[in-house]
Structure 1
Amino acid sequence: MGVTELPAGGPNALAVTLGLLGDEWNLWILRFALLGSRRYNDWLALGGISNSVLSSRLAVLTAGGMLERREYQQNPPRHEYSVTRKGQSIWPVLITMWSWEKQWAPNEIAPLPPLRHSTCGNDFTPILRCKECGEDVDVRSLDSRMGPSGDFSRSVPEATSRRRSTKSERRPEILAHTMELVGNRWSAAIIGAAFRGARRYGEFAEITGAPPAIVADRLKHLTEIGVMETRPLPDRPQWSEYRLTDKGTAYFPVVMCMISWGQRWFRSADGPDIVLHHKACGKRFEARLGCSACGEELRSSDIEAIDLTTSVHVPGSGWS
């Protein structure tokens, strides 16, 4: 599966990316697909997912070019799903989500295992870097402008496919706090606006185009989970502005990896949705990840998720 061309005037690469990755079950299926699950019953055997949800998500991931469906038996017909290059290259997004979740929203019941870089043998956190010059970057390191398809109305998924659990099925819960940020389309839009510099309620409403009640609700919720905080305005102490906390700012590598992945694989006919430049080198920015322990560039084949009894390689094709 190659690059998907998006029609002019429609949802842009960011909207498509959020639609695919802002769903817990999609991420759950991809996680186990990267670890070797191929057939329908492989996922069912893992437990918790219903037939209808599994069928619908496999169809979405196949249509999105992340999985490829192949018939392996004709009578009765049976199919298996292999991970495409597009699906394999999602690993930087999953790794940055995993690292952020482990550091900022630890799950005491089912804690995420640490990540280990097999090249140096150390546990690590991924460091966001510039592809062109290799320097570490943060939100202050980049210049950004909206591209021809970057209108916020085109950057928000038309609807979320996130499905809450019923009494008979659990939610996957592998990245529960991450889903609070990307699993709701308006939360994702508010976070994006904050990284663009929005501070006041009116700025969030203007940038996102969301109804006032939704803006107020999302700002309240993001404040409650510690991603944003309120501060009194210097000129109007009775009014407040909203700023990202350290927890919110730490989500920046996830956002950048999602943008890089989305714009690599989904291209709007009328141009990119966002154009990023690294201030230090002046080149167009594309995300890369480095190891916090040894400094070397990370490749998917060199990353392991470690638990008390075993180590599991995260398969993939690196950045190719």
Structure 2
Amino acid sequence: MRPGVCKFGCEARDDVVTSGDRMFDSAYIRASSVNRALDVIGDRWLIMILQQAWFGVRRFDDFQARLELARSTLTNRLKHLLDHEVLVREAYSDRPRRYEYRLSVKGRDLYPAAMMSLAWQQRWAPPTGQALVQLRHLDCGKLTTPRMSCAHCAGEVDPREVDYALGPGAREIASRAPRRRRSTVEGQPATRTLVSHELLEMLGDRWTPQVAATAFFGLRRFEDMREALELAPNILADRLRRLVELGIFRTEVYQARPQRLHYRLTDKGRAFYPILLALMQWGDRWYAPAAGVPVILSHRSCGAVLRPQVVCSACGGLLDSHNIAPVAAAPSVARSQQR
């Protein structure tokens, strides 16, 4: 490999930082397209609205009835999704004028993230006392647990087998001022949403998934995370505490006086990786700068640039919004599966 060019063809050697390095420069961690995706959907009410849209809800009154959400809050969140072209509005009545809210192409492109979220929830955080949503793959007719694989070798994606390098769009994004987004950690979802509280905590707050994501870039220490995210110490401490309580991180003491901790991913935390990868893929597709994606992934197992895909656990076929159907199991079945 000639000097100044990374193995992916990126110019300027000082721009190339892989997961084998001690840590990414903080600006480039913030450049990840996961952050771009969370700018748009990192809010618990938005997550629940999108979930209902994936299940076929279209009308304002139906969203409100299912989510038990104040009209003003629902109006605000629907406007946000319309402004970002995740939903489109279509009239279904002229007198009086009434609209349906449907997923756009951009909204349907979030389906891989939705499927991997459902798979994580089923395995690690099923909603207590609620029906368990399962998926049927229409192509093979079997119930499926979505899994993420490499499009090149079909091997299952393991975060420990993924390397990172800065892409051609990294400089442009790193030079932008970081956006400050709202955070919504308050409030409880309606019991009929079929989304577990843990999943909402992980995705419905702007900082929690970003703190978790730093671990996949090799960060372990409080100060490294704080510098990378430019996050106030009290906010970072709160999110780390909650991630430990949720079982996403475990702690190890690396210095006794004063006590300093490493935060390391558990199996449950590593299982969250496909969700972040799907969000990164969505952010790359819809928000990457003209120069190209900011971060390039390679699959160490096969050596190819990683292009993740969501496949059926039963037959290995590709899953998308057109060939799967949700199936709600009885609440008693959901409880038995939690045991």
Q: Same fold (TM over 0.5)?
A: yes
- SS of the aligned residue for 1:301 comes to coil
**Corresponding residue for 2:200?**
179
Give, in angstroms, the shift of residue 62 of structure 1.
0.7
**Corresponding residue for 1:318?**
none
**Corresponding residue for 2:242?**
221
CA distance in 2, matches of 1:303, 1:36: 13
Question: Which residue identity does 2:35 align to in structure 1?
Answer: A
Give, in angstroms, the shift of residue 74 of structure 1.
4.7
> Bigger shift: 283-292 or 65-74?
65-74
> Bigger shift: 173-182 or 103-112?
173-182
Deviations 1:214-257 (A, max 9, x none): 22222122111111001233999954311001110000110111
Residue 128, structure 1, aligned to residue 151, structure 2 = no
**Residues 264/38 of structure 1: CA separation in 2 closer, same or farther (3 Å cut):** same
Residue 265, structure 1, aligned to residue 273, structure 2 = no
Question: Which residue identity does 2:159 align to in structure 1?
Answer: V
> Bigger shift: 191-200 or 229-238?
229-238
Residue 230, structure 1, aligned to residue 251, structure 2 = yes
**Residues 122/50 of structure 1: CA separation in 2 closer, same or farther (3 Å cut):** same
Q: In structure 2, which of residues 163, 172, 180 is the aligned counterpart of residue 143 of structure 1? A: 163
Q: In structure 2, which of residues 39, 64, 84 is the aligned counterpart of residue 19 of structure 1? A: 39
TM-score of the two chains, using structure 2 as the length reference: 0.77
> Bigger shift: 143-152 or 78-87?
143-152
Q: Does the CA-based 8 Å contact 2:58-2:102 persist in structure 1?
A: yes
Q: Does the CA-based 8 Å contact 2:87-2:107 persist in structure 1?
A: yes
**Corresponding residue for 2:181?**
159
> Bigger shift: 171-180 or 31-40?
171-180
Give, in angstroms, the shift of residue 296 of structure 1.
2.3
Which segments of structure 1 move beyond 6 Å, counting only runs of 4 or more? 234-237
Residue 210, structure 1, aligned to residue 231, structure 2 = yes
Q: Does the CA-based 8 Å contact 2:173-2:289 persist in structure 1?
A: no
**Corresponding residue for 2:125?**
105
Q: In structure 2, which of residues 277, 280, 283 is the aligned counterpart of residue 256 of structure 1? A: 277
Deviations 1:162-185 (A, max 9, x none): 37338xx84856142122223222
- SS of the aligned residue for 2:224 comes to helix
Q: Does the CA-based 8 Å contact 1:92-1:257 persist in structure 2?
A: yes
CA distance in 2, matches of 1:124, 1:152: 42
Deviations 1:113-144 (A, max 9, x none): 22232333333322211223433221122211
Question: What are the ranges of 5 or more consecutive residues in structure 2 without an aligned counterpart?
Answer: 1-29, 331-339
**Residues 184/224 of structure 1: CA separation in 2 closer, same or farther (3 Å cut):** same
Structure 1 vs Structure 2 CA RMSD: 3.0
Question: What are the ranges of 5 or more consecutive residues in structure 1 without an aligned counterpart?
Answer: 1-9, 310-320
Q: What is the percent sequence identity of the aligned residues?
A: 32
**Corresponding residue for 2:335?**
none
**Residues 64/12 of structure 1: CA separation in 2 closer, same or farther (3 Å cut):** farther
Report matched runs for 1:7-46 at 5 Å.
13-46=33-66
**Corresponding residue for 1:60?**
80
- SS of the aligned residue for 2:133 comes to coil
**Residues 80/245 of structure 1: CA separation in 2 closer, same or farther (3 Å cut):** same
CA distance in 1, matches of 2:92, 2:317: 40
- SS of the aligned residue for 1:210 comes to coil
**Residues 189/47 of structure 1: CA separation in 2 closer, same or farther (3 Å cut):** closer
**Corresponding residue for 2:336?**
none
CA distance in 2, matches of 1:208, 1:153: 14
> Bigger shift: 98-107 or 117-126?
117-126
**Residues 32/240 of structure 1: CA separation in 2 closer, same or farther (3 Å cut):** closer
CA distance in 2, matches of 1:122, 1:237: 55
Question: Which residue identity does 2:171 align to in structure 1?
Answer: P
Question: Which residue identity does 1:251 align to in structure 2?
Answer: F
Give, in angstroms, the shift of residue 157 of structure 1.
5.3
CA distance in 2, matches of 1:259, 1:62: 21
- SS of the aligned residue for 2:207 comes to helix
- SS of the aligned residue for 2:243 comes to helix
**Corresponding residue for 2:14?**
none
Q: Does the CA-based 8 Å contact 1:13-1:268 persist in structure 2?
A: no
**Residues 152/98 of structure 1: CA separation in 2 closer, same or farther (3 Å cut):** farther
Deviations 1:7-64 (A, max 9, x none): xxx9874333113322222222222223332222232343512211111111011111
CA distance in 1, matches of 2:273, 2:46: 21
> Bigger shift: 134-143 or 222-231?
134-143
- SS of the aligned residue for 2:148 comes to strand
Q: In structure 2, which of residues 99, 106, 125 is the aligned counterpart of residue 86 of structure 1? A: 106
CA distance in 2, matches of 1:238, 1:66: 45
TM-score of the two chains, using structure 1 as the length reference: 0.81
